[in-house]
C-alpha cells in the first residue's frame, strides 16, 4: 500500500474514507455526503448526491470571534441538511480538510460519532476523474438529537490547570511564526507555556494535495514532540478551527483523550492574566 495512504492500521474506527471507496458506496446510498464549500462552488460541480452545507452555518453571525451557535441551533441546521444521527455522514471540502475536520469535531461534541472525512477532499475526487454533477440536491429534513459530549472540549480554566500537569500535553496547531509571536493575532502574541508546535499543515502532503500523510509519519511527528497516547491532549490554534485538524488526526491515530480548546489564542492572547511564552 502506498506510503501516503493512512487507511491501513487505523485503530479509530475508520474515520477516513478514500475516494474510490466513496465512489463504490455512493451508488448504494450508504452515506449522507455533505459538501462543506460555498454554495457557488457547490453549484459549479460536486460529488453526485452530495448536499451543500457551507461550514459557516455552524457559526454565530453575531459573535465577534466567530463562536459556534448553541447546540440546539446546530442540531436544527444539521437536521435541515439531512443528518439524523443514524445514517453515516461523509464530509468533504477543498480547503485542506479544515472545514471537514471542524464539522467532524462539532458532530463529536454533539454526540455523533458516525462521520468520516474524505481523504484529499474534493481535490482528490476530481484528480481521480470520478464523476461530478451540478444538480442542487435538496435533503430530506431529519431530526437530529443532541447527546452532549463535553469530553472533546477544553475551557481556558482547564488549560490553566493542565499547565503543570504531566498527564496533559498541549499542542499548538498554528504556523511557526504565530507560535513564536512574530505574527500579530491578538493583544499579546506567543504561545501557551509548554505547548508543542505541530503545524496542522504537517498532517497533509500539501495544500494543493490535501491527502493525509501515512499513520507512521503522523505518529512519528507527535511522538517526537512527546505527545503520546497516554496523555490527555489539548489542541488549540487562533480560533479553534485549524486545531480541529489536529483533533481529527490524533483521533485517527487512536489517541483516546483529545480536547479542542475552542477559545484558542483569541481568548488566551487577549486575556491579560494568562501566561504567555515566546
| pTM score | 0.94
Residues 16-127, CATH architecture? 3-Layer(aba) Sandwich (3.40)
Confidence at residue 191, expressed as pLDDT on a 0 to 100 scale: 98
Q: What is the per-residue burial (b if ≥16 Cβ within 10 Å, else e) of 128-155?
A: eeeeeeeeebebeebebebeeeeebbbe
Residues of the chain with pLDDT under 50: 1-12
Confidence at residue 13, expressed as pLDDT on a 0 to 100 scale: 52
Residues designated catalytic: 237
Tens-digit pLDDT profile for residues 138-188: 999 999 999 999 999 999 999 999 999 999 999 999 999 999 999 999 999
Question: 16-127 and 150-268: same fold?
Answer: yes
So where are the chain's domains? 16-127, 150-268
Q: Are 81 and 139 in contact (CB under 8 A)?
A: yes
Q: Which CATH number fits domain 150-268: 2.40.160.20, 3.30.70.1060, 3.40.250.10, 3.40.140.10?
A: 3.40.250.10
Q: Which residue has the cell 498541549?
A: 170
* Distance in Å from the first CA to the final CA of the chain: 41
Amino acid at each position: 500500500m502506498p506510503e501516503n495512504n493512512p487507511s491501513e492500521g487505523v485503530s479509530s474506527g475508520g474515520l477516513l474514507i478514500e475516494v474510490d471507496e466513496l465512489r463504490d458506496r455512493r451508488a448504494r446510498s450508504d452515506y449522507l455526503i455533505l459538501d462543506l464549500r460555498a454554495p457557488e462552488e457547490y453549484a459549479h460541480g460536486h460529488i453526485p448526491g452530495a448536499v451543500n452545507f457551507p461550514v459557516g452555518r455552524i457559526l454565530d453571525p453575531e459573535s465577534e470571534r466567530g463562536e459556534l451557535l448553541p447546540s440546539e441551533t446546530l442540531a436544527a441546521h444539521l437536521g435541515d441538511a439531512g443528518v439524523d444521527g443514524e445514517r453515516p455522514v461523509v464530509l468533504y471540502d477543498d480547503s485542506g480538510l479544515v472545514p471537514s475536520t471542524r464539522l467532524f469535531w462539532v458532530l463529536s461534541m454533539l454526540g455523533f460519532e458516525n462521520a468520516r472525512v474524505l481523504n484529499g477532499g474534493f481535490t482528490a475526487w476530481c484528480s481521480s476523474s470520478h464523476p461530478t454533477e451540478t444538480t442542487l440536491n435538496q435533503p430530506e429534513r431529519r431530526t437530529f438529537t443532541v447527546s452532549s459530549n463535553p469530553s472533546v472540549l477544553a475551557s481556558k480554566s482547564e488549560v490553566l490547570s493542565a499547565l503543570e500537569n504531566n498527564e496533559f500535553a498541549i499542542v499548538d496547531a498554528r504556523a511557526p511564526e504565530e507560535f513564536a509571536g512574530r505574527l500579530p493575532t491578538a493583544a499579546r502574541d506567543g504561545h501557551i507555556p509548554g505547548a508543542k508546535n505541530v503545524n496542522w499543515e504537517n498532517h497533509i502532503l500539501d495544500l494543493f494535495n490535501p491527502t493525509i500523510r501515512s499513520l507512521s509519519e503522523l505518529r512519528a511527528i507527535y511522538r517526537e514532540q512527546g505527545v503520546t497516547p497516554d496523555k490527555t491532549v489539548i489542541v488549540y490554534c487562533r480560533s479553534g478551527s485549524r486545531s480541529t485538524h489536529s483533533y481529527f488526526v490524533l483521533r485517527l491515530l487512536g489517541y483516546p483523550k483529545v480536547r479542542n480548546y475552542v477559545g484558542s489564542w483569541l481568548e488566551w492572547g487577549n486575556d491579560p492574566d494568562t501566561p504567555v511564552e515566546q
